[in-house]
Structure 1
Amino acid sequence: MEVSANSSQIEKKENNILQVIIASSVGTLIEWYDMFLAIILAGVLSTQLFPNDGSSHFLETLAVVVSSFMFRPIGSLVFGSIGDRIGRKYSFLVSLIMMGIATFGIGLIPTFESVGWFAPVLLLICRIFQGLAISGEYAGAVIYVAEHAPQEKRGHYTGFIQATVPLGLLICLLVVYFTKAAMTEEAFNSFGWRIPFLFSGVLVLISYFIRKKLHESPVFEQLKKEGKTSKSPVKDTFTTPGNIKVMLKAIFGGNAAQSTIMQTTLFVTLFFLQRAVMLPYETVLIIVLIATLFSSFFYQYFGSLSDKIGRKPVMLGGMISSLILIPFSFYMYMTIGNPEGLKEIHEIGTPAILAIAGISLITSIAGAATYGPLGAFMLEIFPTKIRYTSMGFAQNMGNGFIGGATTFVTELLKSTLIVSAAMSPYIGLTYPLILIFIAILVNYFTVPETYKTDLTKD
């Protein structure tokens, strides 16, 4: 009977953690879907929400779209304070609703032809709210899962949250691809682009009701019972001795590099294949879909691996590999996809498509090694009572403000810096490569190993 009771308790615990992972992951996945959608459809938004005056407004559209990343540090303080004072669950429920409303709102924005400059202003407002929402979502989900997980499986379980980024993008790409396939290009550019944004409303509602059934994190509940929660998490985040130094290590020793690697392997690749290699949009979607699909399994794998050998060696391996692979991969994209330097959109054969997708996959796997353990590392480096605020701020400064600017900065450098014709397609890569190089140095020399940290320790 005793063995049976113990087995029942173990089974119950596993079922609970499974429920926690599913509910947290589904919500985070949908929020990443919402966040990425405007980036994927930036080209269409530039023609629908900006003046049709014969000039390209792609860079301006990217600036508005990327603005969401700039506001994430502010949102992290707001939602972090809620999460550290009231609870983890409440904070990421509010962020989920906010994200859903903002994304649905983008799908309803009138065109520039209808309301003039009010259209891009509305896009900016919606993107700001999306940035504020994701800043509370990601940190809350990772912390919530980790505070339910046993120490020796913290990277394993939080790895599922890390995997929601490529899966969110994958769903995003699939929805866009099938929506485009179901109608003419004219119809998609006219009204079809709104469908993926409006579809988000359904996903958010489903996720909300799944999450609503969850209980609060046991680590936070214990802290609350003992009266050890912070009354002023934002103030404590910046006044606790040594905490600012820890946040700087987290920002420049991992988060900024991780974000710029992911932005480069996904979105910069997407734009480069379209605008430099001159491949058809559908071909580019297929290439990114293949790389995203097969790399998504590695995020959780590297999170799990970091439970065994530590967070640092896995993250450093990913960063060093990315530093080498990113310039190599972009050179190969051009060599395989446009060896003759064509200036117009052109088709390539299946072997070339698979070759480019394979190179993109290898680079994405290096990014997965950087990102897979990062969630566990970030929450382990901060004390429980200010964990949500500290982790959220550091993550959103590095991942959002600094690394999140990658797509815009790379396009800006390409369009403004005067370099040789041979270097012009690649000059934008200097930004991510500098951030990665800094992260390798900071991580190797200053960042501590954290995988055996006790999360209840203050």
Structure 2
Amino acid sequence: MTAEERKVIFASSLGTVFEWYDFYLYGSLAAIIAKQFFAGLDAGSAFIFALLAFAAGFIVRPFGAIFFGRLGDMIGRKYTFLVTILIMGLSTFIVGILPTYASIGVAAPVILIVLRLLQGLALGGEYGGAATYVAEHAPHGKRGAYTAWIQTTATLGLFLSLLVILGTRTWTGEDDFAAWGWRIPFIVSIALLAISVWIRLSMNESPAFKKMKEEGKTSKAPLKESFGQWRNLKIVILALIGLTAGQAVVWYTGQFYALFFLTQALKVDGATANLLIAASLVIGTPFFLVFGSLSDRIGRKPIIMLGCLLGALTYFPVFKMLTEAANPDLAKAQATSQVIVAADPAECSFQFNPTGTKKFTSTCDIAKQKLAGASVSYDNQETPGQPAVIKVGTTEIKVAVSAEDVAAAKAAAEQKLADLKAAPTPDEKAIAAATAGLKAVSDEKTAKDAVLTSKLKAALKAAGYPEKADPAKMNKGLIVAILVYLVILVTMVYGPIAAMLVEMFPTRIRYTSMSLPYHIGNGWFGGLLPTTAFAIVAQTGNMYNGLWYPIIIAAATFVIGMLFVRETKDVDIYAGD
């Protein structure tokens, strides 16, 4: 590798790491951003809108791919992805100095969402530019190895954002960080922007584009050529459904859904889960380069297709192994004390409510909401015409709480509080908790809910369901091994993908053509995976059923890719221009 080639890879990768750093900062700080910018809403709705603003960045990525891809094919790779990094960097910096809802009211969240949209548009133009630029500098036979460096950048950007946040949190303390310290990671990004822009200004245009421009063969209408002519449009469609859709769901399952599953379903505390994910990324990230280089020898297609196939075949057993390793008490309870919601199906609503506006009031809905809130998997049993009952092993709990139940619970709470106060050495914390419990069952609005919650909690505890994962019982070595396997699947599908997408399209429309399927696949199929998987889990009750989403898409990509997508490693990327 020459010094110039190293500079190309370093500059392209550094800029893309920076862009991913900016993108993930927002997601990592969503809870704080919700309080700062959506304070006019209740806490639950504020967090939901903060996450929707984060999702907006994914949704607009394909539009950024179209807009900046067109520019890249008309005026050049270098200047286009110089513009994208400026937009991303300045948008991130402005978030760091943006007045909050308390200062300027509703204008604050509006401006924030506009900045998120700009970040998504910029990221839509960045990846295609970086991948195209590196591939067009790479010697024939080494494009997989060279572009694999670009593939590491999302992981490294995530690392960098977490590292800066952790350092700032430690320096400022939690209270100050929540008040003003959260701005620092956004503000310091201006230094990274300056370095990235300075390096990119010193770079030369890609030789493939320069040659094409000298010959007067640049496209005058790249959008029309890319999507208005069937011979190219069919390749764009195949690139989406036969490559990037499967690649995206495998990637998001391995790096994001695994973290969500650990914290939400298995009740592992956030700090431990982050450390376990970080350890797996440290071990697994070099495999991007391994599979990128291997694809230069045996081909891109076999590696990507094998990654999709392994994901589709192994996700269920692997995630069940993860449950046994991270929360063995939960795995044992699920095996010995099945939880069932027996209810009239006519009473059961669709349980997905992203805006927080729908009220679930039927006994079936209340039962499912309670179990979802406790992260308990359950099966559904139809009992037409009957009010809902929650069965925990052999214990049955009526969801419709009677006045007698409330009276009995109130009497028990009063007696418990009296006993605690009469103890020789009163426990102030226990007395405070008992007082809160008595207040809950005494208030007319909360009494029935408090009684149901108490009964369900007692039944789950008796059946062995843990409130959280026990760190002493975790098999952390096995957890990391499982997570590393999931990351290796990510590297299989993602390591060779940039080279393959570049090789599928001619130089004159390459930036436009490859960017769109990549960002629809990763922005929509991948970026919306956690939301979609959550909807499936919420509706069916089984915490593993969310895996059907990545399994079905990865399997479809495997079949379509094997049948219709051709190998590209020996393609001359200058041919046909």
- Answering whether residue 555 of structure 2 is matched by residue 437 of structure 1, we say yes
Match of 1:399 in 2: 522
Corresponding residue to 2:531 among 390, 398, 408: 408
1:322-366 deviations in Å (ceiling 9; x for gaps): 223433333233322233345645551496333322211111111
* Residues in 1 aligned to 2:473 and 2:213: alpha-carbon distance in whole angstroms: 58
Greater shift, 83-92 or 53-62, is seen at: 53-62
Distance 1:399 1:56, change over 3 A: same
Contact 1:166-1:293 at 8 Å conserved across structures: no
Pair 347,200 (structure 1): closer, same or farther in 2 beyond 3 Å: farther
Cα pair distance change 1:427/1:194, threshold 3 Å = farther
Q: CA contact under 8 A between 2:145 and 2:292: conserved in structure 1?
A: yes
Task: Give how far 1:169 is off.
Answer: 1.5
Tell me: CA distance 1:83–1:212, structure 2 relative to 1, closer, same or farther (3 Å): same
Q: Aligned partner of 1:144: which letter?
A: Y
2:419 is matched with which residue? Answer: none
Supply the distance in 2 between the matched residues of 1:350 and 1:16 (Cα, whole angstroms): 52
What secondary structure is seen at the aligned counterpart in 2 of 1:147?
A: helix
Pairs within 5 Å for 1:341-420: 341=330, 344-345=467-468, 348-349=471-472, 352-415=475-538, 417=539, 419-420=540-541
Structure 1 letter corresponding to 2:138: A
Q: 1:182-193 maps to which residues of 2 (within 5 A)?
A: 182-193=171-182
Instruction: Flag the 1:92–1:235 CA change in 2: closer, same or farther, 3 A.
Output: same
* The one of 326, 334, 337 aligned to 2:323: 334
Whether contact under 8 Å (2:82, 2:197) holds in the other structure is yes
Residue of structure 2 equivalent to 1:18: 6
| Equivalent position to 1:81, from 55, 65, 70 | 70
- Asked whether 1:130 is paired with 2:119, we answer yes
1:398 CA displacement = 1.4
Amino acid at match of 1:372: G
Q: Is the 8 A contact 2:327 2:470 kept in 1?
A: no
Q: 2:272 aligned to 283, 287, 298, which one?
A: 283
Q: Report the residue type matching 2:34 in the other structure.
A: S
| Aligned pairs (5 A) from 1:146-295 | 146-295=135-284
Work out which of the residue numbers 81, 84, 93 in structure 2 matches 1:92: 81
SS in 2 for 1:152: coil
- 1:449 corresponds, among 546, 567, 575, to 567
Which letter does structure 1 place at the counterpart of 2:55? V
Question: Is contact 2:16-2:130 (8 Å) kept?
Answer: yes
User: Matches of 1:411 and 1:104 in 2, distance apart?
Assistant: 32
The 2-side partners of 1:332 and 1:198 are apart by 42
1:30: Cα distance to partner? 0.9
Deviations 1:100-149 (A, max 9, x none): 01122222344444444444333321211111111111111111111111
Query: What's the C-alpha RMSD, in Å, of the aligned pairs?
Result: 2.0
Unaligned segments of structure 2, at least 5 residues: 331-464
1:73 CA drift (Å): 1.3
Distance of aligned partners of 1:42 and 1:437 in 2 relative to their CA distance in 1, 3 Å threshold? farther
CA deviation after TM superposition for structure 1 residue 427, in Å:
2.8
Q: Which moved more, 1:381-390 or 1:319-328?
A: 319-328
1:232-288 deviation digits (Å, cap 9, x = unpaired): 111111123411110111011111222222222222222222222222222122112
Residue 46 of structure 1 and its aligned partner are, at CA, apart by: 3.2
TM-score under structure 1 length normalisation: 0.91
| CA–CA distance in structure 2, aligned partners of residues 93 and 59 of structure 1 | 33
Does the C-alpha gap of structure 1 residues 102 and 218 become closer, same or farther in structure 2, counting only changes over 3 Å?
Answer: same
AA at the equivalent of 1:24: S
Alpha-carbon distance change, 294 to 406 in structure 1, aligned in 2, over 3 angstroms:
same
> Cα–Cα, structure 1 residues 436 and 116, in superposed 2: closer, same or farther, change >3 Å?
farther
Q: Name the residue aligned to 1:428.
A: 546
| Contiguous gaps of at least 5 residues in structure 1 | 1-12
CA 1:287–1:48 in structure 2 vs 1: closer, same or farther (change >3 Å)? farther
Deviates more, 1:382-391 or 1:176-185: 176-185
Cα drift, residue 33 of structure 1: 1.4
Whether the aligned pair in 2 keeps the contact of 1:38 and 1:65 (CA below 8 Å) is: yes
CA 1:329 to 1:172, structure 2 compared with 1: closer, same or farther past 3 Å? farther
State the Cα distance separating 1:94 from its structure 2 match: 0.3
Q: What is the Cα deviation at residue 85 of structure 1?
A: 0.8
- Structure 2 CA distance for aligned equivalents of residues 429 and 57 of structure 1: 28
In the alignment, the residues of structure 2 paired with residue 120 and residue 432 of structure 1 have an alpha-carbon distance, to the nearest angstrom, of: 32
Query: In structure 1, how many angstroms separate the alpha carbons of the residues matched to 2:266 and 2:184?
Result: 29
Aligned residues: 441
* 1:59–1:433 Cα change, 3 Å: farther
> Contact between 1:59 and 1:408, CA under 8 Å: does it hold in 2?
no
Q: Indicate conservation of the 8 Å contact 2:281/2:487, yes or no.
A: yes
**How far has the Cα of 1:212 moved from its partner?**
0.8
| 334-343 vs 360-369, which moves further | 334-343
**Do the aligned partners of residues 49 and 22 (structure 1) sit closer, same or farther apart at CA in structure 2, a change above 3 Å counting?**
same
Q: CA deviation at 1:66?
A: 1.4
Distance 2:549 2:564 in 1: 22
Shift of 1:49: 2.9
* Change in CA separation of 1:17 and 1:350 when aligned onto 2, cut-off 3 Å: farther
Q: Amino acid of the residue matched to residue 444 of structure 1?
A: M
Kept in 2, the 8 Å contact 1:280–1:346? The answer is: yes
How far apart, CA to CA, are the structure 2 residues paired with 1:386 and 1:54?
A: 47
**Residue of structure 1 equivalent to 2:29:** 41
Counterpart amino acid of 1:168? G
CA contact (8 A) 1:264 1:432 kept: yes
Larger radius of gyration: 2
Q: CA deviation at 1:183?
A: 4.0
Alpha-carbon distance in structure 1 between the residues aligned to 2:236 and 2:329: 47
